[in-house]
């Protein structure tokens, strides 16, 4: 009984894998190209979902839109920034907008402008 059960599971797994392999290998070339473009889009920096996220389009988030345009005007390539850096910078801009120019307060006499300069050095925007 145990052997039959394992054989049935293995056959189901193999059949599903075969169907998946068959789908990816034998479809028309246009569908193959679509799949290849999808995977290429995931592995490059030019992914639309990432671009929509950093521009504040999806999900719709006005502070991130402000952060994006602020950093683009400061010549920072926002597309190369990490999620953590984007979220921190969005938070800092909101603090500055709500509480004034003395915020955000950083330790060791680091200023907000120093953080902007650090981003400019780390992610320079290349104008083409």
Give tens-digit pLDDT for 104-124. Answer: 888 888 999 999 999 999 999
60 vs 38: which has the higher pLDDT: 60
Return the pLDDT at 4.
Answer: 46
Q: Do residues 93 and 66 lie in contact, with contact meaning Cβ atoms separated by under 8 Å?
A: yes
49: which 2 tokens?
A: 């979902």
Alpha-carbon distance of 51 to 19, in angstroms, equals 34
Q: Are 77 and 123 in contact (CB under 8 A)?
A: yes
* Rounded average pLDDT over 25-45: 63
**What local confidence, expressed as pLDDT, does residue 104 receive?**
87
Residue 89: predicted pLDDT: 94
Per-residue pLDDT tens for 45-97? Answer: 556 788 888 888 878 889 999 999 999 999 999 989 999 999 999 999 999 99
Which residues, at least 6 apart from 77, have a Cβ–Cβ distance to it below 8 Å?
A: 123, 124, 125, 126
pLDDT at 23 over 70: no
Q: CB neighbours of 6 closer than 8 A, spacing ≥ 6?
A: none
């Amino acid at each position: 009984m145990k052997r039959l059960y394992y054989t049935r599971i293995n056959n189901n797994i193999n059949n599903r894998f075969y169907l998946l392999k068959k789908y990816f290998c034998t479809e028309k070339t246009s569908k193959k190209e679509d799949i290849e473009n999808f995977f290429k889009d995931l592995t490059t920096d030019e992914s639309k979902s990432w671009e929509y996220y950093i521009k504040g389009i999806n999900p719709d988030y006005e502070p991130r839109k402000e952060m994006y345009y602020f950093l683009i005007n400061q010549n920072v390539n926002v597309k190369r920034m990490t999620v953590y850096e984007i979220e921190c910078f969005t938070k800092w801009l909101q603090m500055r907008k709500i509480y004034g120019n003395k915020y955000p307060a950083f330790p060791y006499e680091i200023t907000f402008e120093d953080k902007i300069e650090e981003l400019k050095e780390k992610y320079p925007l290349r104008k083409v």
